[in-house]
């Protein structure tokens, strides 16, 4: 158990819908990272927040948005969902704002878009 929690574990929805994925970092960690893992695209970095502020952005679609709240939990919002958005979404947390810091991964949310 990494100490990072993600809810829900599974999510099934329809095309065009909007969903919110939630991540709670390990106690004391200020950084949250979001990743998408799919068979087509592999493991892709989406976005990184440190202490509420965006630090780095990766291959995140405009239909997707994220934020980190004052209590340091983070939410990833996915809208106008398409079949191709079906994937495992991981969040990870670390103490420091990137670089060599070890990231601890949550168990993931499996999103299925029908």
Partner 1 sequence: AQSVTQLGSHVSVSEGALVLLRCNYSSSVPPYLFWYVQYPNQGLQLLLKYTSAATLVKGINGFEAEFKKSETSFHLTKPSAHMSDAAEYFCAVTSQAGKSTFGDGTTLTVKP
* Binding track over 45-64 against partner 1, x by CB under 8 A: x--x-x----xxxx------
The least distance separating partner 1 from the CB of residue 103, rounded to whole angstroms, comes to 7
By CB under 8 A, tell whether 103 contacts partner 1. Answer: yes
By CB under 8 A, tell whether 98 contacts partner 1. Answer: yes
Q: Which of 28, 72, 21 is nearest to 50 (CA)?
A: 72
By CB under 8 A, tell whether 108 contacts partner 1. Answer: yes
Return the residues of window 76-95 that contact partner 1 according to CB under 8 A: 90, 92, 94
- Residue matched to tokens 């060599």: 100
Q: What is d(CA 114, CA 112) in angstroms, rounded to the nearest whole number?
A: 6
By CB under 8 A, tell whether 36 contacts partner 1. Answer: no
Selected from 3, 15, 43, 51, the binder of partner 1 by CB under 8 A is: 43
Residue 57 has, within 13 A of its CA and on its CB side, a CA count of 9
Taking residue 12's Cβ as centre, other Cβ atoms within 10 Å add up to 12
Q: Which of 89, 78, 95 is nearest to 6 (CA)?
A: 89
Q: What is d(CA 84, CA 102) in angstroms, rounded to the nearest whole number?
A: 30
- Binding residues vs partner 1 (CB under 8 A): 2, 4, 31, 33, 35, 42-45, 48, 50, 55-58, 90, 92, 94, 97-108
């Amino acid at each position: 158990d990494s100490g990072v929690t993600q809810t829900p574990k599974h999510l099934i929805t329809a095309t065009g819908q909007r969903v919110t994925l939630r991540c709670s970092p390990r106690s004391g960690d200020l950084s949250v990272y979001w990743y998408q893992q799919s068979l087509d695209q592999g493991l892709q970095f989406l976005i990184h927040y440190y202490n509420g502020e965006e630090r780095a952005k990766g291959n995140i679609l405009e239909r997707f948005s994220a934020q980190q709240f004052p209590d340091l939990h983070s939410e990833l919002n996915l809208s106008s969902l398409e079949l191709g958005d079906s994937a495992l979404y991981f969040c990870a947390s670390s103490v420091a704002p990137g670089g060599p810091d070890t990231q601890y991964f949550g168990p993931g949310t499996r999103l299925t878009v029908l």
